[in-house]
Every structure is written in C-alpha cells, then in structure tokens.
Amino acid sequence: MKLNTKLWIGVAVLIVLSPLGLIIPDHFRAGSAWGEWGADEMQKLVGYIPRGLEKLSDLWKSPMPDYAFKGWEEKGLAHLSLAYIVSAVIGILLIIILIMIIGKILVRKDQDAK
C-alpha cells in the first residue's frame, strides 16, 4: 500500500473519530469537551475569567460555533456528531487548499530565482 493511501486512510479514521470529543464527555456527564471552554464556562470552572481570555474572547467569531450548523445545537448527539464530521472535512479541505496555494507560490518563486 502506498504511503499516500495510508495517509488518507488515517485522515479518514480521524474524521470519523472526531465526534468522540463530543460523545465521551456526554456519556460520562462531564460537561463540555476538555479545552473547549468559552469565557462563561471558564467562569463556572475556576471562579473567574483569565484576563487574556476575557480580552481576546470577542476577537474571533466562528463560522460554525460549537462545530454545529445553525439550529442544530439542540437536535441531539447524532446531529452534532454529523456536524463534527462535516466540520472536520471542511477544515481538512481548507488546509489542503491553503497548502497547495503556498506550494505553488513557493515553486514559482524557486523557478523565478533560477
């Protein structure tokens, strides 16, 4: 099996496993996935909002908050799991496109230098 094939199989497995970050905390009634806390959850967990988090929390608004489509937040674990998988696929596609663009720019610069 070629290395590329192994890589894509590994990526596909990771995409399918991505909802585990949602399913496991829900199964153990542990609240949000570890490290996915916003300022409000941080306030509940530690009793205050760290100054840096408070300062930067409004800097970026996600196009898919909580990895879910608008209106899907309360539809249940199956819908949220599907949204996680779609979010993973979109993220990977964006990264691939970005890497290809950067690669073309670097190749063009290398050819111009010769």
pTM: predicted TM-score of the whole model, two decimal places? 0.70
| Cα distance between residue 37 and residue 27, in whole Å | 18
pLDDT tens digits, one per residue of 12-61: 999 999 888 778 887 887 777 767 777 888 888 889 988 888 888 888 77
Q: DSSP letter at 38? A: -
CA angle 38, 97, 85 (to 5 degrees): 45
pLDDT tens digits, one per residue of 50-97: 888 888 888 877 777 777 788 877 788 888 889 889 988 999 999 999
Half-sphere exposure of 61 (CA within 13 A, CB side): 1
Contact call for residues 34 and 27 (beta carbons, < 8 A): no
